[in-house]
A and B are shown apart, each in its own frame.
Chain A
Amino acid sequence: MEGITGVSAMARTTEAFEAAVAPHYSGLVRRLTAVLRDPEAGQDFAQEAYLRAFRAWDRFDGTDSRAWLHTIGLRLAFNERDRRRRWGSLVERASPLEAWLAPEDRTIHEALGELRPVQRAALLLNAVDGFTQAEIAAMLEVPPGTVASWLSRAKAQLREALRND
């Protein structure tokens, strides 16, 4: 009897999670791809973020599932990339080709490539999603002043890069 109850509860949990979080999954894949400039990494980290979000679903406060999912994905990506970079001399991994890049996006893609991944993340969260500096600071676990500095420099760099585009 307990098993049946447990299965039903599990099904309800899964349904609720998928209803709230699944719509944001493809956006997370694209966001992570843009930040990491690696489609495979974007999918990998999005998949893992989704898994972690599901496991932590009972602790989610129910406010903004998209921000929550992105926070998990971005932190996961940055943590792992830091570790991977530290092991760079020992573990090599080929960079994927950017076959998905549309011709009209080449300039902005290259300009974004001049930014650090955390700067790209902050810029996209701010410019595309409209998150405030304080919200981004909380998501990325950095001081608000750091986010302000990143955004200022990132926008200045992109303004210069896109001037003649």
Chain B
Amino acid sequence: MTDDRFDRELADRLSAYESRMPDADPPAADAPLGGPPRWPLIGFGALAAVAAVLLLAVLIRGSADKNIGDASSSPIPSPSAGAPSEPAPTITSGPLESGGPTPTPELTPSPPDPTVDLRWTETASFASPGTATTVSAIVRSEGGLVAVGVAYEGPLPIFGPIPPHEGRVWLSTDAVTWNDVTPESAFVNAELRHLLITSDRRIVAHGWVEDEGSALGRRPAAWESIAGRSWEEIDSGFPDQAWPMSIAQGARGYATLVVEPEAPTLAVWWSADGRTWERVHDLGAEGGYWVGAGDEGFVVAGYQGAAQEPVAIASGDGRQWVEAGTPPGIAAGVAPRSGDWLVVSREAQVVNGEPSTARVWSSADGLVWEQSGAFPLGSRTANEAPCTEWPTSLHAAGPWLIAGTVVSYPCSEGGVQTQGAQLISLDGVDWSELPFAPASEEVGLGTRISGAMEVDGRLVLVGDQDRVATFWIGEQP
């Protein structure tokens, strides 16, 4: 048979074969998704991702260090696809509408191509003289953006008891105007650290309260709200001897890193609904870890043991965890990114005052990692000693990545920390420093970003500046 004849016959057979395949009518163009996607992998669900660190040794010592917990929540963009002339469409769950794992998407106008050169506005800050106020987490709820944190009646000591304090709740319906909506006496001596949206769309804040009756002087606690204004304490889902130090919410449920100080050990706990938790993976007695949740599953990365061996584990369902054969460096933050994962890592030893580099690692599955970027770590002088920054956080929000650094005094020993540079990137390769105030020569000051969220093409950041709860918005120029 000649090539031409074969080509014609092949074309006929292929056409006939294809024509007999199952058919389907097109969806309505203005509402193409009539129900939840059948595959979580291709859903447009607004996914929250949280990265946080556990430093067990520090925790057990009862340090008042505010950098050990870190949480953020951000929708994850769907992977780009389409014709060469088609930029990746911007899909959001609508302005401040929902924060659950699988909200219904809406059509929104396409914003301009994202840039790191955003026009920044400090939209709110909440301070009282002689006090310290921190923001811990942000989440998108049906009532608007909700952020939680803690207000302390005095400055935070380096060591010793924490001053009397109270949980704080802030609410914004437009991502610009923030109001303190803390109910009176609702969170006395409570620290609100984490936020999640349950599968039935309730807001749940996790943290702990001082409790002299508890063996360790405090117990885990949780509060539930419908719209962020009225809160009711609920069962945290954890025993008194287990403190959730970070919570990550994704399409496949919720994962948290829990410290069990009396054991002592670290463990991964998982929940399908954000209410009922089960212990699923033991991380050992010593280490520091971050957790992230994305479309496909979860990644925990950090280090273990006194030698600080890098380690990463990944799970597709939150229950079964697989250890990475080639982990990234010593993770200082993990975030999902368009179906992949990113880790920012530090060196095992940060040389005091010497130039150093934070490395950025990427992985398609959480198991095989390769270095994909880096950013320089600066050196700052305090108490007449030059100290090198080290990375401590990584947040993903829409197209943006936010990395944070700190400087410790004595250098690299972790006793007292001030904030170093906060950086922004679109790809994890090229980084720019955010124009926020760095630490001065005082300790415990500077700008810390504790949460990031994209809202209609704008980047909302929450954190604290010189220990004052602060909110920012970055808009496309």
Contact = CB atoms under 8 A, between A and B. Distances in A.
Interface of A: 10, 14, 17-18, 21-22, 25-26, 29-31, 33-34, 39-56, 58-61, 68, 71-72, 75-76, 79-80, 82-84, 86-87, 89-93, 100, 102, 105, 108-109, 112, 123-124, 127-128, 138, 155, 158-159, 162
Contact of A127 (B11, B41, B85, B86): B11
B160 to A, nearest CB: 45
Contact of B24 (A26, A61, A155, A162): A26
Nearest to A32: B21
- The list of the 5 closest CB pairs from A to B, nearest first, reads A90-B316, A25-B26, A76-B81, A91-B316, A51-B32
A55 B19 contact: no
Interface in B9-61: 10-11, 13-27, 29-30, 32-33, 37-39, 41-42
A162 B6 CA distance: 10
Contacts of A108: 13-14, 17
A72 B82 contact: yes
A60 B85 contact: yes
A40 B38 contact: yes
B29 A84 contact: no
Contacts of A124: 14, 18
A52 B17 contact: no
Contacts of B37: 44, 48
A155 to B, nearest CB: 7
A100 B26 contact: no
A54 B83 contact: no
B317 to A, nearest CB: 7
Contact of A55 (B7, B38, B42, B91): B91
A25 B82 contact: no
Interface string B102-115: 00000100100000
Contact of A105 (B17, B29, B364): B17
B76 interface: no
Given A22-B26, A87-B365, A159-B6, A128 B86 contact: no
10 contacts: A18-B26, A44-B38, A51-B32, A51-B33, A60-B83, A72-B82, A76-B79, A83-B364, A86-B364, A90-B365
Contacts of B42: 44-45, 48, 76, 80
A30 B86 CA distance: 23
Contacts of A52: 81-82, 86, 89
A84 B23 CA distance: 24
B83 A162 contact: no
A100 B297 contact: no
Contacts of A127: 7, 10-11, 14
Interface residues of B, number: 56
Given A26-B26, A89-B322, 20 more contacts: A22-B29, A25-B26, A29-B23, A31-B18, A42-B22, A47-B33, A50-B26, A52-B82, A55-B91, A55-B110, A59-B86, A79-B81, A80-B42, A83-B41, A83-B364, A86-B365, A90-B297, A90-B314, A158-B10, A162-B13
Contacts of B314: 90
Contact of A87 (B13, B86, B316): B316
B419 interface: no
A47 B35 CA distance: 11
A47 B43 CA distance: 11
Contacts of B24: 25-26, 29, 43, 46-47
Contact of B85 (A51, A59, A89): A59
Contacts of A80: 39, 41-42, 79
Interface string B295-333: 011000000000000000011110010100000000000
B87 interface: yes
A93 B38 CA distance: 11
Instruction: Point out which of B21, B317, B322 has the most chain A C-beta atoms below 10 A from its C-beta.
Output: B21
A138 B80 CA distance: 16
Contacts of A44: 37-39, 42
Contact of B25 (A25, A61, A159): A25
A79 B339 CA distance: 10
Contacts of A22: 26, 29
A71 B364 contact: no
A91 B317 CA distance: 7
Contacts of A51: 27, 32-33
Contacts of A92: 316
B84 interface: yes
Nearest to A29: B24
B16 A105 contact: yes
Contacts of B340: 83
